[in-house]
Amino acid sequence: MDFKSCVNIRQEWDIVGARQLGREKAKELGFGTVDQARIATAISELARNIYLYAGTGKVRFEIVDQLDKKGLKIIAIDEGPGIRDVSQVMQDGYSTSGGLGAGLPGVKRLMDFFEIRTEWGEGTEIETIKWVR
Amino acid sequence: MRIPILKLQNYLLISIQIDLDDQSAIQFQEDLLNKIHKSGATGVVIDLTSVDIIDSFIAKVLGDVVTMSDLMGARVVLTGIQPAVAMTLIELGIHMQDVQTALDLEQGLIKLRQELEG
Ligand SMILES: Nc1ncnc2c1ncn2[C@@H]1O[C@H](COP(=O)(O)OP(=O)(O)OP(=O)(O)O)[C@@H](O)[C@H]1O
Ligand SMILES: [Mg+2]
């Protein structure tokens, strides 16, 4: 199985669209309800961050099919301001928008793989994977 | 989308049946506070049985609704939180410690009665 799909984040409603599509993909892949909720929540956090801090961007879904395991990869990409200090934004409670600051550290806990690639002034790309158990 | 708020004696009952986008969540917060003010309700049950995702934003709005309602003199109970949602919230690092909860709408009403009517 090989598929790619992508949701553009341009308006607030796209956050809901992205997490709904992600949940559908997760269900198709055979994730249980708890993992579906984890995946949908992670997508919601990443998509909202794009909307809030970069304005626009996209969330891409890919199925990772390896010999011994299968998973859903989610990549959130924007060309916004970038993140100056990654270790700072990964702290629970750190927020520049009066939020709970739970988003990024939360996504890391909800998913199995988490990586931020960002350059100040260039944009941000966050890649995360959940493996089917 | 507007979330309907029902009045039953001194209580307000809300069952959230939609996938909450940010705007609807904020609208709901405002509608509920206005309704508490107008009706003089002393208790509120928000049923989340149909909600299959609560992310950090929605959690913040719900937490704020509870605090604000409390300030206005109305006690809020959240009911019907799905197991998957509860687990996800804890992993996100959101504990909602000051929030009252119950298994379902009926239990929520019983809890409010016990607390408010002794
Ligand atoms: N895509 C992004 N581009 C630029 N900055 C970002 C991006 N995503 C996150 N940030 C920065 O990282 C901080 C932490 O993000 P995080 O999602 O953890 O918390 P939050 O969005 O502030 O609050 P919450 O998600 O709990 O509502 C943000 O306040 C913001 O400054
Ligand atoms: Mg966030």
Between CA A44 and CA A62 the distance in angstroms is 17
Q: pLDDT value at position A68? A: 92
Between CA B41 and CA B36 the distance in angstroms is 5
Distance from the alpha carbon of residue A101 to the mean position of ligand 2, in angstroms:
6
With a pLDDT cut of 70, the percent of chain B lying above it is 100
Q: pLDDT value at position B98? A: 85
Q: Number of CB pairs < 8 Å for A and B?
A: 76
Between CA A47 and CA A52 the distance in angstroms is 9
What residue segments make up the domains of chain B, in order of their start?
6-117
Q: pLDDT value at position A1? A: 46
- In this complex, the residue of A15, A33, A100 whose CB is nearest that of residue B59 is A100
Domain B6-117 grouped into CATH 3.30.750.24: yes
Q: pLDDT value at position B56? A: 95
Q: pLDDT value at position A63? A: 95
- The ranges of chain B with pLDDT < 50 are none
Between CA A59 and CA A18 the distance in angstroms is 7
Ion ligand 2 — residues with CB under 5 Å? Answer: A 49, 103
Between CA A78 and CA A81 the distance in angstroms is 9
Decide: A88 in ligand 1 pocket, CB within 6 A: no
Distance from the alpha carbon of residue B101 to the mean position of ligand 2, in angstroms:
25
Predicted ipTM of the assembly? 0.92
- The ranges of chain A with pLDDT < 70 are 1-4
Nearest chain A residue to B94 by CA distance is A102
Chain A interface test: which of B16, B27, B56 (most A C-beta within 10 Å): B56
Between CA B104 and CA A10 the distance in angstroms is 37
What residue segments make up the domains of chain A, in order of their start?
3-131
Q: What is the sign, positive or negative, of the torsion defined by CA atoms of B101, B103, B106, B110?
A: negative
Domain A3-131 CATH class label: alpha beta
CA triple A63-B19-B97, angle to 5 deg: 100
Q: pLDDT value at position A84? A: 96
